[in-house]
């Protein structure tokens, strides 16, 4: 029986762009370029490696997001994933981590899965809680923050590295895992992969398809909210210390005044 691997990925604003909040205090995704979250590229890579090591496996990438989120799916497909699922609905605007985990869980129940793989966090929200929330909703084990991961005999195994020790973990499938940026560099899409991605299937789902009401997601259903936001002040030139024989003393006094020393 084919091993069904589903990778949850996110379309995020480019960290090098001018990111800011919209009028409703959600992240403005209209005025900044987006891309596949870099941390999710590691998840796609590990899923592909697991599939390559298996006798029979299929890799599906799943995302929840606006129309432009298909760009993230195409990137994952060009890396080597087999197919994609895109959950898109206007009522999803403003959905928080809890709501996202609900939508993902319902989508996974629709697609079917043996192993769910995600990155350690998104590069915009950086909460890192969705894999655990997702495992709880699905009622399956979670093995998170892995720097190494493999699957054999219906069991997923991995290593979690801490500051002072490493843990060897395992769980029976089906399961949810997340991988860190220490799990191995993600491959670059080849020209052949980019061209092949254009022909790979992308299934679209909305809230009705998942049996969800608008009140359960979006800003209306969010358990968290941004109350206020202030633009970061422009950077100043800072303090310049001219060394005319007393530079070291002036620098020490400045650092002491700032309580750095």
Section 164-171 average pLDDT: 94
- Token pair 């029986």 in the structure block, residue: 1
Q: What is the pTM for the complete model shown? A: 0.85
**Residue 12 token pair:** 């995020």
CA distance 85 to 111: 8
| Residue 203 reports pLDDT greater than 80 | yes
| Residue 1 reports pLDDT greater than 90 | no
CA distance 66 to 13: 12
In eight-state DSSP terms, residue 51 is H
| Residue 130 reports pLDDT greater than 80 | yes
Query: In the chain, pLDDT over 70 holds for what percent of residues?
Result: 99
Q: What is the DSSP string of 59-74?
A: EEEEEES-GGGHHHHH
Q: How many CB atoms lie within 10 A of CB 189?
A: 18
Section 59-67 average pLDDT: 96
Prior bond of 174 cis (ω within 30°): yes
| SS3 category, 152 | strand
Q: What is the predicted pLDDT for the residue at 227?
A: 84
Section 31-37 average pLDDT: 84
**Residue 210 token pair:** 């998942």
């Amino acid at each position: 029986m084919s091993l069904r691997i589903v990778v949850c990925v996110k379309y995020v604003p480019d960290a090098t762009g001018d990111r800011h909040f919209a009028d409703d205090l959600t992240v403005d995704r209209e005025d900044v370029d987006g891309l596949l979250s870099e941390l999710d590229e590691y998840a796609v890579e590990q899923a592909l490696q697991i599939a390559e090591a298996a006798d029979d496996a299929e890799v599906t990438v799943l995302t929840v997001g606006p129309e432009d989120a298909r760009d993230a799916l195409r990137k994952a497909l060009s890396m080597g994933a087999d197919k994609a699922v895109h959950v898109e609905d206007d009522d999803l605007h403003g959905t928080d981590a809890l709501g996202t985990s609900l939508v993902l869980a319902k989508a996974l129940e629709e697609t079917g899965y043996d192993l769910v793989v995600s990155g350690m966090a998104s590069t915009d929200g950086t909460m890192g809680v969705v894999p655990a929330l997702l495992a709880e909703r699905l009622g399956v084990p979670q093995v998170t923050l892995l720097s190494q991961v493999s699957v054999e005999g219906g069991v997923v195994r991995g290593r979690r590295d801490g500051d002072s020790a490493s843990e060897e973990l395992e769980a029976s499938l089906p399961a949810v895992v997340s991988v860190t940026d220490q799990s191995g560099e993600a491959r670059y899409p080849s020209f052949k992969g980019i061209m092949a991605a254009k022909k790979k299937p992308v299934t679209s789902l909305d809230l009705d398809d998942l049996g969800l009401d608008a009140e359960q997601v979006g800003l209306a259903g969010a358990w968290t909210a941004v109350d206020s936001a202030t633009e970061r002040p422009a950077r100043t030139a800072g303090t310049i210390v001219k060394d005319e024989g007393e530079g070291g003393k002036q620098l020490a006094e400045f650092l002491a005044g700032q309580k750095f020393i």
